[in-house]
Amino acid sequence: MFHRYIYGGIISIDEYEPSDLLKVLVAANELLLQEPVEYLQKYLIENKLEWMEQHLGLIIRTYFHSNSLSELQRFCTDVMARSPEKIFNSLDFTSIPEKSLISLLKRDDFQVKEIDVWENVLKWGLEKNPTLTPDPTTWSDNDFKMMENTLQHCLPLIRFFNVSSKDFFQKTFETSAL
């Protein structure tokens, strides 16, 4: 595909999967091919919106490693402001980098119930510690310490004062019953 672009300035993208186009976008960005970078970002956002929303974690990881993919970053920022639950419901939410999660938690326009934020931060932490079982009642002191270390930068950003004691107890109890 790049061969055709480099020699002919033409790239046909309709036949490619969005994941492949994202890889091409990253490669074009690394090669400083600004025209295809801008075009591919715009194409993905305008034509592959549903796929993009389902794979927000991947999109965040992609733009996180490059400062020049501003359209992808703007897209994710808009989704976070418009429909923040889509971040948590994306297929690869647990793979987003910690800095991206922290950036998300710091947002003042993040309109998600705080108990849902708590549950998803825990889900993210569990993914980072695959040796832990989802049931905290089985955890040792070392397991709690491991999770605390994993979430140390996220926990202060959760607005626990916005969580009712009933919700917190219920969600904590449900989690431990898994």
- In a structure prediction context, what are the per-residue pLDDT tens digits for the chain, which is 178 residues long? 544 555 566 667 878 899 999 998 998 899 888 888 999 999 999 999 999 988 888 888 888 777 789 899 888 878 877 887 888 888 888 888 888 888 888 877 777 888 888 889 999 999 999 999 988 889 999 999 999 999 999 999 998 888 888 887 777 655 544 4
What is the pLDDT, as a whole number, of residue 154? 94
Alpha-helix runs per DSSP H in the chain = 2-8, 18-30, 34-47, 49-54, 56-64, 70-82, 85-89, 98-106, 114-128, 141-151, 165-176
| pLDDT score, position 81 | 72
pTM of the model: 0.73
Question: Could you give the CA distance from residue 35 to residue 29 in angstroms, rounded to a whole number?
Answer: 10
Task: Please answer whether residues 150 and 129 qualify as being in contact, where contact means their C-beta atoms are separated by less than 8 angstroms.
Answer: yes
- Are 149 and 96 a contacting pair, CB within 8 Å? no
Q: How far apart are the first and last CA of the chain?
A: 47
Asked if residues 77 and 84 have their Cβ atoms less than 8 Å apart, the reply is no
**Which pLDDT does position 123 carry in this prediction?**
92
DSSP 60-89: HHHHHT-TT-HHHHHHHHHHHHH-THHHHH
Under 8 Å between Cβ of 86 and 56: yes
